[in-house]
Amino acid sequence: MLLPLLALVDLALLGVLRGMNRLPPVGGGDFAALYTTLLLSSTAALALGLLCSAAVSDAAQATLMLPMLCFPQVLFVGAILPVPAMADGGRWLSYAMSNRWAFEGLGHSAGVERLWRDGGSPLGPPLLQTYGDSFSRPVWIDWLVLGGFVLLALVATWAVLVRREARRAS
């Protein structure tokens, strides 16, 4: 039930960002790619939330679990510290963060590499060097990874619920 609402919120977010000139100018295809990436990221977050909800027995446990899920998603996405600049452990952890793949997919679709290379800002070339090839992968690969996160979380949710129901029945 939440997915249609998330789809509208994602579209509104992109519309507001575009209307306020906070997005680089992109064509219809790139706008659709940005939207698809946001929607897949929202779906992955929703699926992870469902898994957490299924795994705990009360709201207090869910509240305690929330920081353990959110902080790594923020720290290892690559926005604060680029993935190529992370220590090996951080780089490996970043592979397990759905937000990393959304961030890199959004950067690809928004043309961040081109903007940094050709935008004329003195900050562009150092940023391009620091982020390396983070935004050069085709966006459909990021979508596949995000889809995998969705599938994995939904299957895990189903398994937790089946196990919980089996315990109740016995």
Q: DSSP letter string over 109-121?
A: HTTHHHHHHHS--
Contact of 41 with 143, CB cutoff 8 Å: no
Question: Quick one: average pLDDT of 18-32?
Answer: 91
Mean pLDDT of all residues belonging to the chain: 94
pLDDT in tens, 57-116: 888 888 888 888 889 999 999 999 999 999 999 999 999 999 999 999 999 999 999 999
- Is the pLDDT at 10 greater than 90? The verdict is yes
> What is the separation of C-alpha 123 from the centre of its chain, rounded to a whole number of angstroms?
25
- Reduced to 3 states (helix: H, G, I; strand: E, B; else coil), residue 76 is coil
- Is the pLDDT at 170 greater than 90? The verdict is no
Closest CA to 127 of 111, 116, 115: 116
Lowest mean pLDDT among 19-33, 91-105, 153-167: 19-33
Contacts of 40 (CB under 8 A, 6+ apart): 102, 105, 143, 146, 147, 150
More confidently predicted of 1 and 99: 99
The predicted pLDDT at position 59 comes to: 86
- Alpha carbons within 13 angstroms on the beta-carbon side of residue 5 total 3
Question: Quick one: average pLDDT of 19-27?
Answer: 89
126 pLDDT band (50/70/90 cuts)?
very high
Question: What is the torsional sign of CA 58, 64, 70, 76?
Answer: negative
Question: Quick one: average pLDDT of 1-29?
Answer: 93
The predicted pLDDT at position 130 comes to: 95
- Phi/psi class of residue 87: alpha, beta or left (left: φ > 0; alpha: ψ in -120 to 50)? beta
The predicted pLDDT at position 62 comes to: 86
- Reduced to 3 states (helix: H, G, I; strand: E, B; else coil), residue 4 is helix
- Reduced to 3 states (helix: H, G, I; strand: E, B; else coil), residue 93 is helix
Distance CA 149, CA 5 (A): 20
| Residues 81-92 as b or e (16 or more Cβ within 10 Å = b) | eebeebeeeeee
- Is the pLDDT at 1 greater than 90? The verdict is no
